[in-house]
Amino acid sequence: MGALDGLVVADFTRVLAGPYATMLLGDMGATVIKVERPEFGDDTRHWGPPYDPAGRATYFESVNRNKTSVAIDMNSNEGLAEARELVKRADIVIHNFPPSNSEKFGLDYSSIKNLKADVIYCSITGFGSGVGAQMPGYDLLVQAMGGLMSVTGPGPGEPTKVGVALVDVITGMHATIGILAALNHRNSTGEGQEIEVNLLSSLLSAMVNQSSGYVSGDVVPGILGNAHPSIVPYEVYQTSDRPVVIAVGNDGQFGKLCSVLGIPEVATDSRFLTNPDRVANRIAINELLNMEFSKQGADHWWHMLTEIGVPCGPINALDDAFKLADSLGLNPIVTINQEGEQRKQVANPITFSKTPVRYTVAPPSLDEA
């Protein structure tokens, strides 16, 4: 039994934020029915390379397991009737249509509630359902307009996007959290409700200390490359062969770091005694640290510092990251055996003691039950 066994999700989402949310629900046991356009399907079916060995776009594969697919022409009366029948069966309806399209298709909350009074209804937009309702919601656009690129990059004047569609992923997680909370409310009261999630608000919330620095401290942050605005040393340092990351979070760890590096006197230097001191003297402390790190290779420092509890690690490529997770017993890759084919997937990161996640259905072909 999955935690969400017996629940039916009518999934009208496409691309990433919504499909990621519905895949999480499917992993936890919900029956997810993905509605796609006839012939073309979800946009991400065509976003490649890369492709898997059978020629399927790995982008689509990343967020669409544990679902069936039904092709519905939402621009036809027959298609709209089919969509309404699906909604009547569903406990959860989720979409990322612009508000004008949801009303056009009769999939706005007022219409859906008339079909299924206790439905959990979740809409995902780029910039909300008000003034920004018609603004296109693409991750890169929101990274730019939402401030993430303004604090990301090698240095001032070089804003850079994050290397994955992080805003979409964060928004999908927020949608999932909202749906689960609404289900708990329905279990207590019998009432459904409407949930709205948008990319911009999700990003502003997820920028945590940077957003709080502005809201509470009136500080507009800039780009610090790999450095941290409030913690030192907490960045990348060059060793004799390749860079490592040091993430010292307190004065005790800093003392241990200096001891291993052979410069214990630095930990008691008045310029570096506390974290605020080190932030004020960032350049001076980094010059000292880089000089010492350059004397040995990354693996040497990684093992030496990790052994005494100082956060340190090499900068891995993705293949090495998966090897690391595997070596730690985290089982980061799962295989779904379907019709004689071994379909590899990235594992769901949540473990349950009573209702484990499932990997029963590989990402479907278009209109595949």
Rounded to whole angstroms, how far apart are CA atoms 73 and 233?
56
The structure tokens 């036809």 sit at: 76
Query: Which active-site residues does the annotation give?
Result: 168
- Cβ(22)–Cβ(90) under 8 Å? no
Between the CA of residue 192 and those of 85, 123, 189, what are the distances in Å? Answer: 18, 14, 9
Choose among 90, 87, 124, 120: nearest CA to 106. Answer: 87
C-alpha radius of gyration, the chain, whole number: 24
Q: What is the DSSP letter of 218?
A: -
Which residues, at least 6 apart from 246, have a Cβ–Cβ distance to it below 8 Å? Answer: 233, 234, 235, 237, 257, 289, 305, 310, 311, 312
The structure tokens 């490649």 sit at: 48
Q: What angle do CA 17, 22, 25 make, to 5 degrees?
A: 135
Q: What is the DSSP letter of 362?
A: P
Choose among 164, 117, 114, 113: nearest CA to 139. Answer: 164
Give the DSSP per-residue string, 75-91. Answer: TSHHHHHHHHHHHHH-S
H helix count then E strand count, the chain: 14, 11
Rounded to whole angstroms, how far apart are CA atoms 177 and 353?
20
